Amino acid sequence: MRKTREIGIVIVLSLVLLLSGCSERRKAVQKYRSLGITELQKENYEAAIDAFRHAMDYYGTAHQDKEEADILSYLAEAEYRAGKYEEALEHYEQLLRKGGRKAAYLDLACAAAVKAGKGMEGALPYYEEAEKKGGDRELHLETLYLLAESARSGGAADELETVRAAYEKLYPSAKEDSRFLLHYGDLLVSVKKWDEAFAMYEAGETLTAADAAQQAVFRQREAICQEYRGEYADALMRFTALLESGQGNREEIEHEIAFLKTRAEGSDG
């Protein structure tokens, strides 16, 4: 009987020590997590990365699944902001494995893949999977803008067409978003669909009527479209009006005006 009581005491003491150790590890995780968030907010990304990695080291024996995903998310964000895109992508992949294939993780993985130079082949599958799941609309649009930027830089016709199709799919739900219209118009310019691009810019100009600076951005794009379409006199008129309004990039506008004057004169002759 005495031996049984002694064994029971040993078990209880062991449990107390184990729980005490877990509590200390949890406190360490919380300490480094909080430090990492503070440094992230201060834009001290390397310090934030270091803190979150310390938190993950302590987490390794704490077995707190939800908290692990939370810290991994912060770590990946800090790495992304620090320009460590390969590391960020690796941790977003871990999140997809540990936290489920959520739309937000997929969009963030896509962005990291683009920045890491994985190309359309490496980044697009994340975007397409996120598209099927729904999720944060703004985050998904930002991911599309990055994909479009990558496609426009590469100039491959098939990639540009793939991204154009993605814009077309989102257009019905995003056509009241002036930023979406601006990006979509720029993509259409890249595929030489001047008429469609002009229509996007016109719609964007209407939506930004209360913001002169933003409206000028669309008006300048419209003028560029007219130039590409060979409507030199109309483009010159538009750029001249922009210059007189004091809006837009003065240096760029003056350069366009000088160029268009020679074209307009030539077409008159």
Residue pair 155/179 in contact (Cβ under 8 Å)? The answer is no
Lookup result for tokens 């595929």: 191
- Ordered mean pLDDT values, 10 residues apiece, the chain (269 residues): 49 42 71 89 94 81 66 94 97 90 95 95 95 92 96 91 96 96 97 96 95 94 94 93 89 91 67
Given this model, what pLDDT does residue 100 score? Answer: 87
CA atoms within 13 A on the CB side of 106: 21
Given this model, what pLDDT does residue 143 score? Answer: 97
Q: Which of 80, 49, 82 is nearest to 92 (CA)?
A: 80
Given this model, what pLDDT does residue 155 score? Answer: 84
Given this model, what pLDDT does residue 238 score? Answer: 94
In order of 30, 49, 71, 73, 89, the CA distances from 53 in angstroms are 12, 6, 9, 12, 15
Residue 114 dihedral angles phi and psi, to the nearest 5°: -60, -50
